Amino acid sequence: MLTQTAVRSEISRHPARNIRPMSPQACFTGEVNPLEQRMRLMGAVMPYPRNAEIFGESDSAEYLYKVVSGVVRTYKILNDGRRQIGGFYLPGDVFGLESGDEHTLAAEAVTDTKVLIVKRSALTALAARDATVARELYALAARELRRAQERILLLIKSAQERVASFLLEMTERAPAGNTIDLPMSRQDIADYLGLTIETVSRTLTSLETTAAIEVPTSRRIVLRNRSALTRLNG
Amino acid sequence: MLTQTAVRSEISRHPARNIRPMSPQACFTGEVNPLEQRMRLMGAVMPYPRNAEIFGESDSAEYLYKVVSGVVRTYKILNDGRRQIGGFYLPGDVFGLESGDEHTLAAEAVTDTKVLIVKRSALTALAARDATVARELYALAARELRRAQERILLLIKSAQERVASFLLEMTERAPAGNTIDLPMSRQDIADYLGLTIETVSRTLTSLETTAAIEVPTSRRIVLRNRSALTRLNG
DNA sequence: CGACCATTTGATATGGATCAAGCGATGTGG
DNA sequence: CCACATCGCTTGATCCATATCAAATGGTCG
C-alpha cells in the first residue's frame, strides 16, 4: 500500500491549488434553527472558486464553516504523498469542527462554492449563555462522529462494497430520484474510499455490466437496481 | 475481503459472550473536573467480568459510561460475520457517546472491568444549566471524533504501519516505560486494525526480527526502537 | 498428563495496486 | 471550423501485500 512511487499520482493529483477566494458578501438564506440564525447574524458568506483552499491543515481553527452552495472536501496529505479525503460537505453541512485549536484536515472547494464563516469564539460564547446552541454544537460533533465511524466500517470492506456505499450515501444526501450528479472527480472518490482511480473506474463499469447502475457520462450515475447496491453495502 | 468463509473465524472469534454483570457498588475515586464530579454524584459503578456485554448494538443509548478500571472494547458485527472494533477504552475514558438515541456499536469488557454509569438525561439536563458541563461534553465528542479520524487515516496504511501505530498509541495511552502489557487478544487487535490475526502475528515477528520490538510473551511487548516505529507510522 | 485455546508459522490464492496505453470530451490557436 | 494538445477517465497486463487455508507450537487449566 505504501511505496515510493506513490508520488507519481500525487503530482498529477494536485495541479492548480492555492487559488484565492473572492470578496465576501451577505447571506440571508437557509434554515431556521437557533444555531443557524445566530450563525447568519454573526458570520459572513465567502465565495470560493473550484479547487480554492478554504483552510489549510494546521491553520488555527478560529472559524466554523457552513456550506451555503456548492461542495467542499476536507483532506489530509500523508507524508508519502497520498491524500485521504475526510469528507464531502454539501449545502447545509457544517465543517471545520475540531477538538484542538488547530485544524487537522485542510478544506477545499470541490465546485464553485459559497461558505458561511463564523468565529468559533463567538459561537462558544453564545453557547455558554444559550443551552440550545450548546446542544446543537454537541449534536453537530456527535453527527460528525457517527459519520466517521461509518467511514471506518466502510474502509474494511471490499472495493465493490465501498463504491456501492458511496453511491447510496450520495443519493441519500442529495436526493434527485435515481440520478446522481457527482460534483467530484474519480480521484476525489478514490481518495475518499481509500482506493485508486483505476479500481473505482473498474468497479463502476462492473456495476454497470451487472445492470446495477448506468453511467451515461462520467459525472452522472443512474441507480438501476438499488437493492443490489444495498446488498453489497453490508 | 468479503467471502462466505468469513464465518469460519467468526465462530472461533466469539466464544462465551452474554456474561452478566455483577451487582453495582459505590465509587468515589477519579479526577476533579466539573463533569467528572457530577458524574460521580449521579452515577453508579458496575463491575463486569471479562467478555461481559456492557451494552448491545441498537440498545437505547440511555447512559454514558466511564471506565474506572479495566479495559472496554466497542464493536460492530458486519452482516458477513466480520467484527470491527470501534475502539479500546482505558481507565478514565468515556464511551457510549451517540448522536441518536440508539447505540450504533456494542460494548464489552476486555478484562474484568469497573464502569461508572450515568444517565444521559441527567447529564444533558445539567449541561443546560451549567455551561462548563456542556463544554466538556462537547470536548468529549470532539476528542472522540479526532480519534475516529485518526483511525480512518490508519486504515488506508500498510499492515506494518497499522501495527506500529497501534503499539505507539498503546504506549502513549498507558505509559509504562517501554513495556506494553496488552489487555486484548490478537483477534481484538486484528479486528481493530482491519487485519487478520495471522497478519498481525507475522508483522509483530517481523518487527521483532528487525529489532524494533521484543515480544517476551504474546501479551507483553517491549519497544526497543521507538523511532523505527515512528518512521513507519507515517 | 492430556485437552483446549491462543498464537505462530508455512504454503498458496487473490483483490486491488501499479504500470502503461488508449479513448473521449473539452478547449485553444491557427 | 478544424487540427491538436490536454485532461479526466477507462481498459489492459502484471505484480504484490495481505487473506485464506492448513498445520505446528506453546501456554493454561482440569
For B104-114, the pLDDT digits (tens) are: 999 999 999 99
> Which residues of chain B lie closer than 8 angstroms to A149, CB-CB?
86, 104-105, 148
Residue B181 parent element (H or E) = strand B179-181
Beta carbons of B158 and A2 less than 8 Å apart: yes
Top-tier CATH class for A159-233: mainly alpha
Assess whether pLDDT exceeds 70 at residue B16: no
- Taking only the tens place, the pLDDT of each residue in B39-98 is 666 789 999 999 999 999 989 999 999 999 999 999 999 988 999 999 999 999 999 998
Question: How confident is the model at residue B101, as a pLDDT?
Answer: 87
Per-residue pLDDT at B4? 36
* Reduced DSSP (H G I as helix, E B as strand, rest coil) percent helix, strand, coil of chain B, to 5: 40, 25, 35
On whether the CB atoms of residues B173 and B182 are closer than 8 A, the answer is no
Q: How confident is the model at residue B232 (pLDDT cuts 50, 70, 90)?
A: confident
| Residue for grid cell 458486519 | B78
Contact predicate B98/B68, CB 8 Å? no
> Residue A176: exposed, middle, or buried by beta-carbon count in 10 A (0-12, 13-18, 19+)?
exposed
Q: pLDDT of B174-198, one tens digit each? A: 988 999 999 999 999 999 999 999 9
* Residue contact A151–B152, C-beta within 8 A: yes
Domain map (residue ranges) of chain B: 4-153, 159-233
Q: Please tell me whether any atom of strand D lies within 7 Å of the Cβ of A197.
A: yes
Tell me the longest C-alpha to C-alpha distance in chain B: 57
> Using 50, 70 and 90 to split pLDDT, how confident is the model at A101?
confident
Q: How far is B186 from chain A (nearest CA, A)?
A: 17
Average pLDDT for A34-45 = 74
Dihedral (CA of A12, A13, A19, A22) sign: positive
Cα-based distances in Å from B183 to A5, A135, A164, B216: 38, 36, 36, 15
Contacts of B128 in chain A (CB under 8 A): 131, 134-135
Which nucleotide's C1' is closest to B205 (Cα)?
Answer: C8
Please give the Cα distance from B55 to B58 (Å, whole number).
9
Least Cα separation, residue A23 to chain B (angstroms):
31
What is the per-residue pLDDT for B35?
64
What single DSSP character describes residue A102?
A: B
- In chain A, pLDDT over 70 holds for what percent of residues? 82
Q: Which nucleotides of D are covered by protein (CB under 7 A)?
A: 7-13, 17-22, 27
The mean pLDDT value of chain B amounts to 86
Cα nearest neighbour of B104 on chain A: A146
Superfamily of domain B4-153: Jelly Rolls (2.60.120.10)
Reported for A171-177, long-range contacts at CB under 8 A and 24+ positions apart, including other chains, are A171/A223, A173/A90, A174/A90
Nearest CA in chain A to B126: A131
Look up the pTM and report it. 0.86
